[in-house]
Structure 1
Amino acid sequence: MTSTVRRDRRTRRTARVAGAGAAALLVLTACSSSDDSDAGSGSSASASASGSGSSDQVSGTVTVFAAASLKESFTELGEQFEKAHPGTEVTFSFGGSDSLAASITGGAPADVFASASPKTMKIVTDAGAADGTPETFVRNQLEIATLPGNPDKVASLKDLTDSELKVVLCAEEVPCGAAAKTALDASGLKLTPVSYEQDVKAALTKVELKEADAAVVYKTDVRAAGDKVEGVDFPESSEALNDYPITGLKDAQNPDAGQAFISLVRSAEGQKVLTEAGFIKP
Structure 2
Amino acid sequence: MSLVLTPAGRRTAAAVLTAALLVPLAACSSSDGGEKDTGGPAGSGSSSAPQANLTVLAAASLTDVFKTAGAAYEKAHPGTKITFSFAGSQELVAQVAQGSPADVLVTADTKSMDKVRADTSAPAVIAKNRLVIATGKGNPFKIDELKDLADTKLKVVLAAPEVPAGKYSKKILDAQKITVKPVSQEPNVRAVLSKVELGEADAGLVYRTDAESAGDKVDAVEIPDAQNAVAQYPAATLKDSKNARAAAAFVAWLSSPEGQKILQDAGFQKP
TM-score by structure 2 length?
Answer: 0.81
Say whether residues 1:231 and 2:223 are aligned partners: no
The offset of 1:267, in angstroms, is 0.5
Q: Which amino acid is the alignment partner of residue 80 of structure 1?
A: A
Q: Which residue of 1 aligns with 2:24?
A: none
Residue identity in the other structure for 2:231: N
Could you say which residue in structure 2 is the equivalent of 1:130? 120
Identify the range of structure 1 (265-274 vs 236-245) with the bigger mean alpha-carbon deviation: 236-245
1:278 aligned partner, one-letter code: G
Specify the alignment match of 1:29 in structure 2: none
Q: 1:57 to 1:235 in 2, by over 3 A?
A: closer
Q: Aligned partner of 2:67: which letter?
A: T
Deviations 1:66-103 (A, max 9, x none): 10111111111100111111111100010100110110
Q: 2:233 is matched by which residue type in structure 1?
A: Y
Name the residue aligned to 1:200: 189
Give the 3-state SS of the residue equivalent to 2:191 in structure 1.
Answer: helix
Matched residue type, 1:215: G
Cα deviation for residue 261 of structure 1 reads 1.0
Deviation at 1:235, TM superposition (A): 2.0
Aligned to 1:24: none
Q: Give me the identity figure in percent.
A: 48
Please, which runs of 5 or more residues in structure 2 have no aligned partner? Answer: 1-36, 41-47
Answer yes or no: is the 8 Å Cα contact 1:167–1:215 preserved in 2. Answer: yes
Alpha-carbon separation, structure 2, partners of 1:186 and 1:116: 21
Q: Note if contact 2:49-2:249 (Cα within 8 Å) is conserved in structure 1.
A: no
Residue in 1 aligned with 2:57? 65
Partner of 2:249: 260
CA deviation after TM superposition for structure 1 residue 158, in Å? 0.7
SS of corresponding position for 2:145: coil
Give the aligned residue type for 1:115. T
User: SS of the counterpart of 1:121?
Assistant: helix
Residue 236 of structure 1 deviates from its aligned partner by 6.0
The answer to whether 1:145 aligns with 2:134 is yes
Contact 1:59–1:86 under 8 Å retained in 2: yes
Greater helix share, structure number: 1
CA contact under 8 A between 1:183 and 1:237: conserved in structure 2? no
Q: Which has the larger radius of gyration?
A: 1
- Counterparts of 1:25-104 in structure 2, within 5 Å, are 54-55=39-40, 56-104=48-96
Counterpart-to-counterpart distance in 2, 1:115 and 1:129: 14
Structure 1 residues 202-223: Cα deviation after superposition (integer angstroms, max 9, x where no partner): 0100011111011100000000
Shift of the alpha carbon at 1:238?
4.7
Count of aligned positions: 228
